[in-house]
Structure 1
């Protein structure tokens, strides 16, 4: 029987749809719902806070629209689910869950589940919104019980630059984070494409590299009882 997984992201996202279609195993159908935002040229933490407000304000309506196709799971793929620390993230998801009988899977909680399953305690964080999100991503992982060995951002100065990040810049950031001594590197930000780099990055770094997009789909399928093993996308999909 086919499995249908929906995902909600801000309307400016150009990455997760392609990555999910690449990852989806046979018999898995993915469905994207965009949360309309107008705050799209964000260059500082005030602009990012305004974007966060637009995303959270549009979640319930988008959830209702996506629920009309009755997917088996809905993944909350946006950065907003990391906000407010561990407790704030939990409260946001619980509030949204009251609007639907479809089980919700947050990207934030998916990463925590994956890290714990791998036995990881020390984490390096690749955050494309570093300097814009007022430390919200870092706070979430610390409050979730992980030691943050380092956090690295990207050269761009606006969220519009994120999906256009070069492979060279990604590799340089991963290398810098690896030098801080983590047991794994976590990449957040659904609009940063790194899925195609996971396997090679793990090979030369020698540690797991987790993408929020790939981990969200992994968690959704595992919660549906699917045990698909994918090769070429890192050890999470291959071994867990």
Structure 2
């Protein structure tokens, strides 16, 4: 017997309780027969006003993840999708793999997470060596992202930590500011532009920028949901979110 609505897959989605972007963006990308079941990692609206407080806030997210996993597993999901990204980059490729192994051991099922998903997206598109990326993070976290991409053989030409004032403030970032930030990153020496930080809405903006700039622009929520679908064997092409979901 299969779930009436999630007859192809039930995805458990993990995200911080302050995140208001992952759930609606993932739901917009959901093919028929796939359902998303959100489990909140309970945190306060930390005022990330420094490198230190930002890292402390993401540590709280990390520490609350296992409890949220146990909560969502009660609906018997087939697969988990991580709706947080910062902690999945920490410690480079080795640290990311260790984090994934830990969460999968708690869940007993597979997961897709932001860092691995973006790396897989870059590989799927192909021909990418030099990248630029933006985040709502503080510089210390961007350094972790840079190290992760370096471990996978990508050179970061430039990056911009937008240093948003709080967790809720990330979701309040105007599209105009995000667009302007992408434009600052772009130049002829960049093969692709990446956005990390799951509470920064860019799933609908990225494909527009791809057309304008003539190069891949990868939003982390799109990459993560694409990775979950493809890893689980669902190959539906979803329109409106750029090349990843339309071509690969």
TM-score of the superposed pair, with normalisation by structure 1: 0.94
Residue aligning to 2:198: 190
1:135 to 126, 143, 147: 143
Determine if contact 1:5/1:30 at 8 Å carries over to the other structure. yes
Q: Distance in 2 between matches of 1:181 and 1:77?
A: 31
- Say if 2:101 is the partner of 1:88: no
Residue aligning to 1:42: 48
How far 1:165 sits from its partner (Å)? Answer: 1.1
Q: Distance in 2 between matches of 1:49 and 1:122?
A: 27
How far 1:54 sits from its partner (Å)? Answer: 1.0
Residue aligning to 2:245: 237
Unpaired runs of 5+ residues, structure 1, are none
| Count of residue correspondences | 240
Residue aligning to 1:114: 121
Q: What is the 5 A alignment of 1:196-215?
A: 196-215=204-223
Residue aligning to 1:33: 39
How far 1:67 sits from its partner (Å)? Answer: 1.1
Q: Distance in 1 between matches of 2:163 and 2:35?
A: 35
Q: Distance in 2 between matches of 1:48 and 1:155?
A: 9
| Alpha-carbon distance change, 157 to 41 in structure 1, aligned in 2, over 3 angstroms | closer
Q: 3-state SS of the aligned residue for 1:135?
A: helix
Determine if contact 1:5/1:29 at 8 Å carries over to the other structure. yes
1:146 to 154, 161, 166: 154
How far 1:129 sits from its partner (Å)? Answer: 0.5
Residue aligning to 1:68: 74
User: Once superposed, what is the RMSD of the aligned Cα atoms?
Assistant: 1.6
| Alpha-carbon distance change, 155 to 201 in structure 1, aligned in 2, over 3 angstroms | same
- Say if 2:189 is the partner of 1:181: yes
Q: What is the 5 A alignment of 1:3-42?
A: 3-38=9-44, 40-42=46-48
TM-score of the superposed pair, with normalisation by structure 2: 0.91
Determine if contact 1:184/1:207 at 8 Å carries over to the other structure. yes
Listed one character per residue, the Cα deviations across residues 41-75 of structure 1 (whole Å, up to 9, x for unaligned) are 11111111211221111111111111111112101
